[in-house]
Amino acid sequence: MADRLQELEVFVRVAERGNLSQVAREIGLSQPSVSRILNDLEARIGARLLVRTSRKVGLTEAGHGYLEQVRPLLAELGAAADTAAGNEELRGLLRVELSVTFAVRALIPRLPGLLAEHPNLSVELMMDDRRRSLVEEGADVAVRLGLLDSSSLMARKVGQTPRLLVASPDYIARHGLPQSPGDLVQHEVIFGPSDSTGATFQELIGPEASFTLPESPRIRVSSSAGVTACVLAGLGVAFGSGWMFNAELADGRLCRLLPEFPLPTIPIHVLFPAGRQPSKRARGFADWLSRSLGAS
């Protein structure tokens, strides 16, 4: 049984790392020993799980299916052992899927605290402004801002961030400072990724005034970082979450517009893949992020 458990642990590590030499170094075995363990596993279950080249190890279709079933079992075994030992430390590899700008602006500055608290935890940040499938990408958790798409994924709200309307001092000097939402019809509005807030501009201005977006804005960008760059360049006014603009507002490169008109906040959720119990690492990450965002 111990040998079979080792087979599974080695297989999961190799599947996650994609490199036999790295796994061999991590577990203190030679590379031929790791290869032998994987060969024995494939022979025992009667299926080819891995495709090996000189540079990388990949998964076959059978390997992907096997990994999806084996990884949560190992996580549960590890969690059970930690519980029995009274150990709350997180360990192993945690894959987090999230947007580029939220990662750079909000998560990564907080990450040293998480890694210092859990020295045996490794983190892979799968950064992309497109919303990807947790199952297809192999992520343990995803961080989502805004309204959630209807899906079977498990979700936990961990925080919220304000919406802001901003412009650069140069833009304001050239086009004037809007005094009411209705004044925005005279301004260029920068369109960002539609799923970054989950709301239209009309919803952001509040119940007593509204603004209808032009059907064809002059500038539309597909990332939050692009929105920030455009507004810094004086191309127009933009709206987004507070973490997108906090640094630029603090140093005066951007100005907040119409602060007297309250805007709905943007919820922040951690999503877990459906169909299985979230791993201890995933639950621990959600707990930590909730505490970290709450503290700020």
Domain boundary among 57, 87, 117: 87
Q: Does the residue 128 lie in any domain?
A: no
Domain boundary among 43, 70, 87: 87
Query: Residue 18 sits in which domain range?
Result: 1-87
d(CA 120, CA 123) in angstroms, rounded, equals: 10
Share of the chain above pLDDT 90, in %: 31
Q: Which of 33-37, 117-121, 140-144, 190-194 has the lowest mean pLDDT?
A: 190-194
Name the phi and psi angles at 144, rounded to 5: -125, 135
Distances (CA, A) of 266 to 59, 67, 112, 118, 273: 38, 35, 25, 29, 22
pLDDT tens for each residue of 191-237: 887 544 444 454 545 555 555 555 567 788 888 889 999 999 999 99
168 or 61: which leads in pLDDT: 168
Q: Does the residue 248 lie in any domain?
A: yes
Q: Does the residue 79 lie in any domain?
A: yes
Handedness of CA 213, 215, 220, 222 (dihedral sign): positive
167 and 82 share one domain: no
Instruction: Report the pLDDT averaged over residues 126-145.
Output: 77
Beta strands 141-145 and 92-98, pairing class: parallel
| pLDDT band at 168; cut points 50, 70, 90 | very high
Q: Does the residue 108 lie in any domain?
A: no
Rounded mean pLDDT of the chain? 82
186: pLDDT strictly greater than 90: no
Cα 17 to its chain centre, rounded Å, is 19
88 or 260: which leads in pLDDT: 260
Q: Which helix (H) or strand (E) holds 167?
A: strand 163-167
Mapping DSSP to helix (H, G, I), strand (E, B) and coil, where does residue 63 land? helix
Q: Does the residue 143 lie in any domain?
A: no
pLDDT tens for each residue of 56-68: 888 888 988 888 7
pLDDT for the residue numbered 1: 45
Instruction: Report the pLDDT averaged over residues 230-253.
Output: 92
Q: Which residues, other chains included, contact 117 with Cβ-Cβ below 8 Å and sequence gap of 6+?
A: 288
Domain boundary among 67, 87, 107: 87
Q: Does the residue 41 lie in any domain?
A: yes
Q: Does the residue 117 lie in any domain?
A: no
Q: Does the residue 272 lie in any domain?
A: no
Specify the CATH number for the domain of residue 59.
1.10.10.10
Q: Which of 16-30, 171-185, 222-236 has the lowest mean pLDDT?
A: 16-30
180 or 98: which leads in pLDDT: 98
Structurally, the chain folds into a number of domains equal to 2
Specify the CATH number for the domain of residue 206.
3.40.190.10
